[in-house]
Amino acid sequence: MTWRAATPHAVAARGDVALRLVRRLLAGRLDGLRGVVADNGWVVILGDPPPWCDGATFLGVVPEAPDLYLPTRRRWEVPAELLQRRILAMGRPEDAPLAWLDDALVPLGPARPLDRSALQALLEDAAPGRPALEPTP
């Protein structure tokens, strides 16, 4: 039996897509949105619903694994509870929930309410070599 986290509750992006996402956020309302910029280059925004951004990865959860955000486009065969247990074991308890992206595990526990000045600073600091906003290959 396969399953997927069909309803998006977060959006993740990096590189140029992350810059587009931040610009989109600055142009709209931030109420109810939280976010985190991970050391591995991913920007993750949590919200119901999350903001739309072309090229971004949308993440959902299932009731059996509420501390695990998974790409909505992917189908899974392993039971959700087992997958969550295995992935959470890779991180620290204070990092939960976690987002499992294609090449990274992003702690969502540190996510904070979005702030326009912090988002603007991300854009202003976006330069080659900046880990959070490096262009995607």
Question: pLDDT-based confidence at 127, cuts 50/70/90?
Answer: low
On the CB side of 4, CA atoms within 13 Å amount to 10
Mean pLDDT within 92-111: 88
Q: Return d(Cα 7, Cα 60) in angstroms, integer.
A: 5
CB burial readout 10-23, b (16+ within 10 A) else e: bbbbbbebbbebbe
Q: Does residue 131 carry a pLDDT above 80?
A: no
**CA 33 to each of CA 9, 61, 63: distance values in angstroms, whole numbers, following the listed order:** 10, 16, 21
**CA 78 to each of CA 34, 52, 57, 92, 131: distance values in angstroms, whole numbers, following the listed order:** 29, 29, 21, 22, 33
Contact residues for 48 (Cβ-Cβ < 8 A; gap 6+) = 9, 32
**Residues in the chain, total:** 137
Q: Does residue 128 carry a pLDDT above 60?
A: no
**How does pLDDT run across 46-94, given as a tens digit for each residue?**
998 999 999 999 999 988 889 999 999 988 888 888 988 888 888 787 8
Mean pLDDT within 105-126: 90
What pLDDT sits at residue 137?
39
Query: Whole-prediction pTM value?
Result: 0.86
**How does pLDDT run across 26-51, given as a tens digit for each residue?**
999 999 999 999 888 899 999 989 99
